[in-house]
Amino acid sequence: MKKIKIDSGHGGKDSGAVGNGLLEKNLTLDISKEMKKYLDENYTGHETTLTRTTDIFIELSERANIANRDGSDVFISNHVNAGGGTGYESYIYTKPSSGSVKLQESVNAEALATAKKYGLGAHGIDNKQGNLAVVRQTNMPAVLTEIAYIDSKDAELLKNNNFIKDMAAAYARGVAKYLSLPVKKMPVPMEESKVVERDINKVSPWAEKNWEEAVANGYFDGTRPGATITREEAAVVINRLRSNFLKLIGNNTNDIKALEARLQEIEKEDKK
């Protein structure tokens, strides 16, 4: 069981970056909650918890302490950038463990692929290093993400709930792949499991007798019993049947013509 600790940057009295009517502390909480949801829905073999699930203030070292105390296997701190730039980036410690380097690579690969779908790129080099408290003081592989800029045109994306959800899912996949978490097996939908491909060259058991008779009597050639019939093919069969009937009843050509005229009268009646 792998323990994942998701840290929602800022909170309470510390709003973090502010811009375009958005507060960083609210966005980081949304991202982190969506991330946990995605992990719980799609992967087994992990226990994912957040440093905060509400709008409260936590000191930076306490965030690291929480992860250290819980013996977390991975720490990811989610943030929103400010300073008027554009793009996604992430940070690991300046003297990173090999685990942190791999974790950052895994998260960045997913995050950048998703960001690209929204027309968002990387802010300079995406895999940055920084002497940031939460990545320095944590004992496990740790990465800090900066989703986009709150005080530039990026803010339009930050207002888009689909972008937040998709990026959170990307972070989740990055962490899950780094930890090699087993993917939950999806149940097979009922409709799909019911569909059975039929062989049109094999007659259905319930139609066997009728099919044999119709073939023996010359109405079908005996091939492809399961194929759909076209209107023109049906016309040939109907006319074959009709003319045989007339021949049966009539004794000579004249009789047949008279019978056909009467049959046509009956057929006209049927149409009304």
Positions in the binding site for Zn ion (CB under 5 A): 9, 16, 79
When the beta carbons of 82 and 214 are compared against Zn ion, the nearer one is 82
CA distance 235 to 237: 5
Beta-carbon count within 10 A of 130 CB: 14
Q: Are 15 and 24 in contact (CB under 8 A)?
A: yes
Q: How far is the CB of 79 from Zn ion (least distance, A)?
A: 4
Q: How far is the CB of 46 from Zn ion (least distance, A)?
A: 25
Check 146, 197, 213, 233 and give the catalytic one.
146
CA distance 158 to 169: 15
Q: How far is the CB of 111 from Zn ion (least distance, A)?
A: 16
The DSSP call for residue 43 is B
Closest Cα partner for 141 from 170, 194, 196, 104?
104
The encoded tokens of residue 30 equal 């949304």
Q: How far is the CB of 26 from Zn ion (least distance, A)?
A: 12
CA distance 254 to 229: 34
When the beta carbons of 33 and 240 are compared against Zn ion, the nearer one is 33
Q: Are 52 and 182 in contact (CB under 8 A)?
A: no
When the beta carbons of 83 and 121 are compared against Zn ion, the nearer one is 83
The encoded tokens of residue 114 equal 């998703």
Q: Are 72 and 116 in contact (CB under 8 A)?
A: no
Q: Are 132 and 91 in contact (CB under 8 A)?
A: yes
Q: How far is the CB of 80 from Zn ion (least distance, A)?
A: 6
CA distance 212 to 214: 6
Q: How far is the CB of 151 from Zn ion (least distance, A)?
A: 12
Annotation says 233 is catalytic? no
When the beta carbons of 9 and 141 are compared against Zn ion, the nearer one is 9
- CA angle (165, 169, 174) in 5-degree steps: 150
CA distance 168 to 80: 13
When the beta carbons of 119 and 124 are compared against Zn ion, the nearer one is 124
When the beta carbons of 23 and 112 are compared against Zn ion, the nearer one is 23
The encoded tokens of residue 221 equal 């050639």
Q: Which residues are catalytic?
A: 146
